[in-house]
Amino acid sequence: MKSRRKTVNPIGLNDITIVDDVKMRKAITAAALGNAMEWFDFGVYGFVAYALGKVFFPDVDPSVQMIAALATFSVPFLIRPLGGLFFGALGDKYGRQKVLAATIVIMSLSTFAIGLIPSYASIGIWAPILLLLAKMAQGFSVGGEYTGASIFVAEYAPDRKRGFLGSWLDFGSIAGFVLGAGVVVGISAVIGEEKFLDWGWRVPFFLALPLGMIGLYLRHALEETPAFQQHVEKLEQGDREGLAGGPKVSFKEVATKHWRSLLTCIGIVAVTNVTYYMLLTYMPSYLSHNLHYSESHGVLIIIAIMVGMLFAQPLIGFASDKFGRKPFILFGSIGLFFLAIPAFMLINSGQIGWIFAGLLMLAVVLNFFIGVMASTLPAMFPTHIRYSALASAFNVSVLIAGLTPTAVAWLVESTDDLYMPAYYLMVFAVVGFITAITMKETANKPLRGAAPAASDIAEARELLVEHHDNIEQKIEDIDSEIAALQAKRELLVQQHPRIN
């Protein structure tokens, strides 16, 4: 039986995607706004956790109230992997744009619904049950939100600017968090704590509906990504891999063939989100409940830290296009390990300046991670399974990271050790370090399974030359391996009496 040799045409200038600047800016804006919507809720929830504890869990002591409210925050992360599997399969089958339009609708409606739930005093046990159901609906939609948005931006971005453009996705995350925290502080300052506990805490959740409508409008007007369009065109030309009946590669096959990418994704997301939730969700409660620091002052410090992070975020993304993604994850992990205890020594000092410095140390480390995550993760998987594989790996690790506020609050209460958060961060810093030294660099390279992408024709010519140079280098490496194997063969032949 004769085997057919597959013919592959040489890649020419016409095969390189020239990215439309207008479409690219619209894609980034729509993706970042949806992500801001997600983190607006996280910001609001983190900063009103003390109020929600009193409203929905009034019959327990303050420590248990806080842990219960944070547990309600963490439980939806159990649902996120299901949402990731569901929306990931749809994203690989029908396209990224349609799925992102659906996730923002579910997310905005479920967030809005939290503001409508009556208190425990009004409907008893049904109040925390309804809160949990609304949070689970959020978790299901968010399971496909960040991964879809990061893929959308990555597949639109030119290869040489993917780090900078991807960083704006998490710029939206931080901006949403700042907006959520700012709204909570503003409402509380205007109406006072008593009215805020009575009804004011509901207002930030009501704002999710108009924000979601704006995000839906922007996403509905978007075109599908160039990489996915190329994938569809290949299928129409007879390439059987990928689309017709959904992803053709099962998760078992993904785990077998792409296990290195899966582990790398899980490691990066775990260390990033543990640091994220520690700093931006748990720390407001830690400052007020454990350190007995003024709630308003603690919130203002966190907001100031996040505003600084906004300015640093695009700079990290830009630098990663010059120096690579790997150095930032490596140095971020090292910094997290060695700075965690000093940071909490400053935070526990009781002096506002030192508290700010300690939080700033953690924020700088966090910027190293989130500045490159959105550009790193989508580059690990080929187009036809990118959404499914990334959503699965991302949400498995977020499931672990999402337990951070609850787990750390419980550890501190159980041990009376205010440095438990630092030890917790150090454990995940080791995970980040191992991930960084084993991962492959993805900066300035085409996405797997996609054609090179350039900003203009001049850059396309440069990419073509680099692509051909890379092929030549690979051929030379293969020739060297063949020569080494041939020499090894000759040595073995000489040791055998009957083989010439």
Whole-prediction pTM value?
Answer: 0.79
The CA distance from 480 to 491, in Å, is: 17
**Positive or negative, the Cα torsion across 190, 193, 198, 201?**
positive
Mean pLDDT (the chain) is 83
Q: Region 356-375: what's the mean pLDDT?
A: 93
- Comparing CA positions, the residue from 219, 91, 200 lying closest to residue 143 is 91
User: What band does 242 get if pLDDT is binned at 50, 70 and 90?
Assistant: very low
User: What band does 285 get if pLDDT is binned at 50, 70 and 90?
Assistant: confident
**pLDDT of 141-170, one tens digit each?**
888 888 888 888 888 889 899 999 999 988
Is residue 70 over pLDDT 70? no
- Domain edges within the chain: 18-225+258-455, 456-500
Q: Which two tokens stand for residue 376?
A: 């790193």
Per cent of the chain over pLDDT 90 is: 23
The CA distance from 376 to 330, in Å, is: 13
Helix residue ranges per DSSP H, 439-456: none
Domain 18-225+258-455, classified CATH 3.30.1490.100, yes or no? no
User: What band does 59 get if pLDDT is binned at 50, 70 and 90?
Assistant: low
| DSSP 8-state symbol, 198 | I
Residue type, 178: V
In sequence order, what are the beta bridge partners of 453? 17
- What residue has token string 């590669």? 249
Residue 497 or 299, more confident: 497
User: What pLDDT is attached to residue 432?
Assistant: 95
User: What pLDDT is attached to residue 326?
Assistant: 95
φ/ψ (deg, to 5) at 11: -80, 125
**pLDDT of 477-498, one tens digit each?**
899 999 999 999 888 888 887 7
Please say whether the beta carbons of 40 and 179 come within 8 A. yes
122-126, 230-234, 296-300 — most confident range: 122-126
Residue 288 or 183, more confident: 183
Is residue 240 over pLDDT 80? no
Residue 214 or 322, more confident: 322
Cα 455–Cα 457–Cα 463 angle in degrees, nearest 5: 75
User: What pLDDT is attached to residue 251?
Assistant: 64
User: What pLDDT is attached to residue 274?
Assistant: 93
Is residue 344 over pLDDT 90? yes
User: What pLDDT is attached to residue 232?
Assistant: 72
Does residue 294 sit in helix, strand or coil?
coil
User: What pLDDT is attached to residue 321?
Assistant: 94
In sequence order, what are the beta bridge partners of 202? none
User: What pLDDT is attached to residue 7?
Assistant: 56
Residue type, 41: D
- Comparing CA positions, the residue from 397, 392, 404, 185 lying closest to residue 296 is 185
- Comparing CA positions, the residue from 151, 418, 157 lying closest to residue 283 is 418
- What residue has token string 């922007």? 218
Q: Which two tokens stand for residue 345?
A: 């020594």
User: What pLDDT is attached to residue 296?
Assistant: 63
Residue 255 or 353, more confident: 353
